[in-house]
Structure 1
Amino acid sequence: MPIEDIHELVEVLEKAGELKKITTEVDSELELAEILRRTMYDNGPALLFENVKGYDMPVLGNAFGSMKRLELSLETSDFTEIGQRIADMTKMEIPKGMLNKIKKLPELSKMSESFPSLEKSGPVTEVIKENPTFDDIPILKSFHKDAGKFITFGLTATKHPETGIRNLGVYRIQIVDSTHALMHWQKHKRGAEHHAITKSTKTEVAIIIGGEPATVFSGVAPVPEGLDKYLFAGITRKKGIKMVKCKTIDVEVPANAEIVLEGYVDSSDIRDEGPFGDHTGYYTPKEPFPTFTLTGVMQRKNPIYLTTVVGKPILEDAYIGKVIASSFLPMIRMFHPEVVDFEMPAAGWFQGLAIISIKKRYPGQAKKVMMGLWGMGQLALTKMFVVVDEDVNVHDMNDVIWAITTRTDAARDITIIDRAPTDTLDPASPLVNLGSKLGIDATQKTAEEGFEREIQEKVQVDDETKKLVDSRWSEYGI
């Protein structure tokens, strides 16, 4: 059975030796974040802080900070199967005739099991606060030059004003006072889009803390446009999400969440947000963002505050990003069937660099793939693409560097596109949200592509020598 909530996740991680409980009193201002960062840099476990100074709520961090923890959380070691389920759904044909419809029933039944269901109540409705405030939550201040405390792992829930399709996005949220915060949703993000197309300056928003691991993953994942994030969570865990209605706004949230912060974002109330020590390894400077006003709080009787810390890679978000790259590979292949594999190296903070291997069949195909991926959703913000042949392991940077240096001619194989959309957080772009793209074609060039020389043969060990050494390996005593 899939993991139902953060409490169960804590039990699973502890049983697997992937979690340590900290009973020493720690301060949510700077100290706790530094402990989490050091632990992640040392490849340490998830941490549950049971004694946070000034609060009676424990804090969980680094919960998804290793591939093993993500495998436990999402109950799979093959993350590509998540994307494959979505790809298979899009290929389903409407059956014709009664017999064919009966044959399709098992597939349709599996599909229906992934849909969310609306419940009257759930664990998150155990406590309804009459006087909502941020003050009861151990929200972290991560770096000393941060503008204040930030919610870093809140799932911001919005609905498309016209279609009603629901979205979850992870946007940092700066606390201003007991009932006001700043919503850092970038222009390219779906939450900001929902707000932009509404007919009011105010958009109802819920900020969800915790829930099923699949729901948390859904909040981070760049799912295809038009796919409800709660349905994606259900597809991920092969079981639908139970939902409840918020008390002060018309938004549905997971019944198994730890805390739900209800309110609205008001674009007529713009304030300076930041600075914030971000996952690029730099402080994001002050920028104007809209205000979130808190109108209600629902929570469990004994909630756990789920958080994450960012900074110079590699931290927890690196592992989540690796799973996203794997799980979305089948969907990339739907549009670009020549793609063999895909990798976004953690040190490149995901939007910085992606490496793609392809089965090359015709001249210019590497550039075709680059252009196509730059037109796909959040990949539009990726700064650099490197395309290699299928014999190159995209997960091995040594192999990638070998391909770049042996199959790339700078003048011929480098593409630069100026004045293109870029990640708001990119510290190098000359303008906020606008910069340049770099494409490197590191595939073997052919005569059709102007390669006039004879293609040099790759060095490989002959089969007889390989078999000989394999058979006598134990004799060498190595």
Structure 2
Amino acid sequence: ENLDDIGARITQLMDLKVPDGFLGKLSLLPRLLEVSKFPPRVKGGSPSCQDVVWQGDEIDLDKIPVLHCWPEDGGPYITMTAVISKDPVRGIRNVGMYRVQQLGKKHVAMHWQRHKTGAEHMRQMAERGEKMPVCIVVGSDPASMFSASAPLPPNIDEFLFAGFLRRDPVKLTKAVTNDLEVPADAEFVIEGYIDPAEALIVEGPFGDHTGFYSEADLYPRVHVTAVTMRRNPVYSTTIVGRPPMEDFYLGHATERIFLPLLKLTTPEVVDYHMPAEGGFHNLVFVSIDKKYPGHADKVMHALWGQGLMSLAKVLVVVDKEINVRNPVEAWWVALNNMDPQRDVRFTMGPVDVLDHASRAFTYGSKMGIDATRKWPEEGFTRAWPKVIEMDGATKQAVDAKWKSLGL
């Protein structure tokens, strides 16, 4: 199953309009039954993720091969994580992929940025005056690890989505020292808590996926209460740096799989692509089915108002027939179609924490480029040129010639 096929499955699930008539309603049952198979299931007994349990003086993170990835990193980093936390009011679980810096045998620093759900859970726990339980999963099934990095809509359980991806529910088990549930087949689980009343600690620097070091900053300390693992665990990790590296392919999977969700709110979007050079959030190519003057502007503002797409620094909008997955073609069209004074838009908004060029931390300027064909209503009165293309008859004649020459 390729990534676009997974996107098509999501499209089918979203298109659950109730049809008229009894037989029409029956036709929905297969899709509804498919969804019902995927919620995670809690497993009893002795899960493999707890074959070995360290507690108290046994806890020693130095025994886990945590990598010091780049020369100027602030310390060893656990980079391939699924960090589990829970909304204290609604009880809704969140699973996020955050980097974790080892601070010694029994402590780590949790790097969750201010707009992440885990950080919001910590703010809620601080308001309640309570300590916050967390579990850091290292090494689980690929679908669960990917889902931790995915920009899912609010209130969608990442383990439910993982079950959907792998067509099999994720099996969970209760942690040893808190009430959170973790994947029963995980290689390692680091259990602990954050005390929101404690002062934040220095985390970083870190050689990040932009290709630059992100600066040291203040983040919460996790007190480790247990480390559990399989009997012969495999430590999984990833090294990020100047793109493209391993994390680019996680981002590419997200791009393909979540196109249907983007179309749900902006149906005029045909396709989009975040090239490696942009580090996900610096450059996005978008093709649209243009229907009216100013349509490209409407799409720019719609995308800047959605989730993590709100952090995009440069948006380039082209017509529907352009292959945005080919950056060479997209730039060729954009640079030829746009007039800088007329077609470039500037605005302000939130930017990624890792954007070292913005005028302020997490706040800066954005640029939108309307590279669509211009309409008379948009002030363009000249004839729009045709793209050079070979006619079909000539192509067939050349193909026939190759065959006659035995080539």
TM over 0.5: yes
Q: Is the 8 A contact 1:82 1:235 kept in 2?
A: no
- From 29, 36, 52, the equivalent of 1:105 is 29
2:16·2:28 contact (CA, 8 Å) conserved in 1? no
Query: Where does residue 51 of structure 2 map in the other structure?
Result: 126
Any gaps of 5 or more consecutive residues in structure 1? Answer: 1-75
The answer on 1:179 being equivalent to 2:96 is no
Tell me the equivalent position of 1:300.
230
Distance (Å, rounded) in 2 between the aligned partners of 1:133 and 1:96: 62
* 1:82 to partner: Cα distance: 2.6
Tell me, in whole angstroms, the C-alpha distance in 1 between the residues paired with 2:289 and 2:26: 39
Residue aligned with 1:158, SS: strand
SS of structure 1 residue aligned to 2:199: strand
State the Cα distance separating 1:305 from its structure 2 match.
0.3
Confirm or deny: 8 A CA contact 1:80 1:330 kept in the other structure.
no
Q: SS where residue 305 of structure 1 aligns?
A: coil
User: Which of 329, 345, 358 is equivalent to 1:415?
Assistant: 345
Aligned to 2:79: 152
Residue 237 of structure 1: aligned partner: 166
> Counterpart of 1:164?
91
Tell me how large the CA RMSD over aligned residues is. Answer: 1.8
- 2:173 match: secondary structure: strand
Decide whether the 8 Å contact of 1:149 with 1:175 is kept in 2. yes
SS at match of 2:122: helix
Q: Confirm or deny: 8 A CA contact 1:241 1:254 kept in the other structure.
A: yes
Instruction: Show CA shifts across 1:158-203 (max 9, x none).
Output: 1222222222111111111111111110011111122222323532
Contact 2:315 2:368 in 1 (8 A): yes
- Structure 2 length as normaliser, TM-score? 0.94
Aligned length: 401
From 273, 280, 300, the counterpart of 1:370: 300
In structure 2, the CA distance between the partners of 1:209 and 1:462, relative to structure 1 (3 Å rule), is same
Does the CA-based 8 Å contact 2:288-2:318 persist in structure 1?
Answer: yes
Contact 1:373-1:380 at 8 Å conserved across structures: yes
- Greater alpha carbon shift after TM alignment, 84-93 vs 242-251: 84-93
Q: How does 1:363-442 map to 2 (within 5 A)?
A: 363-418=293-348, 420-442=349-371
- Partners of 2:114 and 2:355 lie apart in 1 by 14
Question: CA separation of 1:454/1:260 partners in 2, compared to 1, >3 Å: closer, same or farther?
Answer: same
In the other structure, the counterpart of 1:85 is: 9
Does 1:211 pair with 2:135?
A: no
Aligned residue among 313, 335, 345 for 2:243: 313
Give the SS at the match of 1:129: strand
Q: What is the Cα deviation at residue 106 of structure 1?
A: 2.5
- Verify the 8 A CA contact 1:84 1:331 in the aligned structure 2: no
- What secondary structure does 2:160 align onto? helix
Is the 8 Å Cα contact of residues 83 and 97 (structure 2) preserved in structure 1? yes
Partner of 2:284: 354
Alignment of 1:266-285 (within 5 A): 266-267=195-196, 268-285=198-215
Letter aligned with residue 319 of structure 1: Y
Identity %: 42
Whether the aligned pair in 2 keeps the contact of 1:212 and 1:257 (CA below 8 Å) is yes
Give the equivalent residue in structure 2 for 1:260.
189
Provide the residue aligned with 1:323 in structure 2: 253
3-state SS of 2:195 partner: strand
What is the distance in 2 between the residues matched to 1:201 and 1:409?
56
Q: Secondary structure of 2:221's partner? A: strand
Q: Does 1:447 align with 2:376?
A: yes
TM-score (norm 1): 0.80
User: Conserved in 2, the CA contact under 8 Å of 1:222 and 1:378?
Assistant: yes
Q: Deviations over 1:391-445 (max 9, x none)?
A: 2111112111111111111011111112x11100112112211111111111111
**Counterpart amino acid of residue 119 in structure 2:** A
Q: Name the SS of the counterpart of 1:135 in structure 2.
A: helix
Q: Mark the runs of 5 or more structure 2 residues left unpaired by the alignment.
A: none
Q: 1:477 to 1:427 in 2, by over 3 A?
A: farther
